[in-house]
């Protein structure tokens, strides 16, 4: 147990912030500054490309990549974040698995509220399929809001008649815009990053007045997960949206879906970002990489 490491990270996330909730640009700048402090593996190469209707960053290992693709969705409450801020996570998955990853630059609220983000991530998946990639060679992964998108993009794909990807990996996924999980109250104050006010402020920008009681906005309590691929849900006990992951795992089990609920004690939201600074972050990423390596097919689909 890395008590000293966890204490330092908790203190970092509790650093004084300006009073009240800032403007959208201030929130975005603050998040960029926070994520710039994280470690990014150097054994990668990146380039900007397009996937569907949006820009995406292709992240590849320096050495020859294995056959298979991770479609990555960054976090940021649907309001902030980018493929660049998610690079500590995306690059770590790439270096640990040997697979390439596309990190999608989906549209953000409030300029582009729900369902713009899902439209963009679904378009990216469709583009991979249209390019000839077999669904068994593709996995969805994401953190926070992006972890939620990994789930809701699957829902949208199934509704559109598209095949399911091979797997889902979600780090601290946001899966309930109704904010009804018990952890919203039991972890208030324990969570060093969020308050109910901050979560509801960002949520309101994404909702833009729409009812959160629908599967694409609150899959943890409303989604039918029948036919979903295997899922790995990782979270820390010190986060207000912990019950988003626990309730989705229960729904997955009830629907007959293979699901691993991987909860680590005394850690904050998306603690995996602290790879190289926190032992548990590296261990969690190793488990995620093992899961992806077991689920993404590296064989020729025609011969399967």
Using CA atoms, how far apart are residues 222 and 103, in angstroms rounded to an integer? 27
- Residue 144 designated active-site: yes
Using CA atoms, how far apart are residues 86 and 219, in angstroms rounded to an integer? 23
Catalytic residue among 136, 144, 172, 218: 144
Q: Which helix (H) or strand (E) holds 231?
A: strand 231-236
Show the beta-strand stretches assigned E in 41-178.
Answer: 44-51, 54-61, 69-73, 100-104, 138-143, 167-171
How long, in residues, is the chain?
Answer: 304
- Residue 112 designated active-site: no
Q: Do residues 70 and 99 make contact, with C-beta atoms less than 8 angstroms apart?
A: yes
Q: Is the dihedral of CA 295, 67, 282, 169 positive or negative?
A: negative
Catalytic residue among 183, 269, 273, 280: 269
Catalytic residue among 172, 218, 239, 280: 239
Q: Give the residue numbers marked as catalytic.
A: 144, 239, 269
């Amino acid at each position: 147990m890395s008590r000293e490491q966890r204490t330092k990270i908790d203190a970092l996330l509790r650093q004084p912030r300006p009073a009240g909730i800032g403007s959208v640009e201030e929130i975005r700048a603050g998040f960029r500054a926070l994520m710039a402090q994280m470690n990014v593996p150097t054994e990668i190469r990146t380039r900007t490309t397009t996937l569907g209707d949006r820009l995406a960053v292709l992240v590849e290992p320096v050495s020859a990549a294995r056959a298979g693709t991770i479609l990555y969705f960054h976090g940021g409450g649907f309001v902030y974040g980018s493929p660049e801020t998610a690079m500590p996570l995306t690059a770590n998955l790439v270096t640990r698995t040997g697979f390439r990853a596309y990190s999608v630059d989906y549209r953000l609220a409030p300029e582009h509220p729900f369902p713009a983000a899902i439209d963009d991530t679904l378009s990216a998946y469709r583009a991979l399929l249209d390019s000839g990639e077999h669904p068994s060679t593709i996995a969805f992964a994401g953190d926070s809001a992006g972890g939620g998108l990994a789930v809701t993009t699957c829902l949208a794909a199934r509704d559109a008649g598209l095949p399911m990807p091979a797997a889902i990996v979600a780090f601290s996924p946001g899966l309930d815009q109704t904010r009804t999980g018990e952890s919203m109250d039991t972890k208030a104050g324990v969570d060093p990053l969020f308050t109910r006010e901050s979560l509801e402020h960002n949520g309101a920008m994404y909702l833009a007045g729409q009812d959160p009681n629908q599967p694409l906005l609150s899959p943890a309590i409303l989604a039918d997960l029948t036919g979903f691929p295997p899922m790995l849900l990782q979270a820390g006990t010190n986060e207000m949206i912990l019950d988003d992951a626990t309730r989705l795992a229960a729904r997955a089990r009830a629907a007959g879906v293979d699901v691993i609920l991987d909860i680590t004690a005394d850690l904050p939201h998306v603690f995996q970002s602290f790879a190289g600074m926190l032992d548990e972050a590296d261990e969690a990423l190793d488990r995620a990489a093992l899961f992806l390596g077991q689920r993404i097919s590296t064989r020729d689909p025609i011969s399967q």
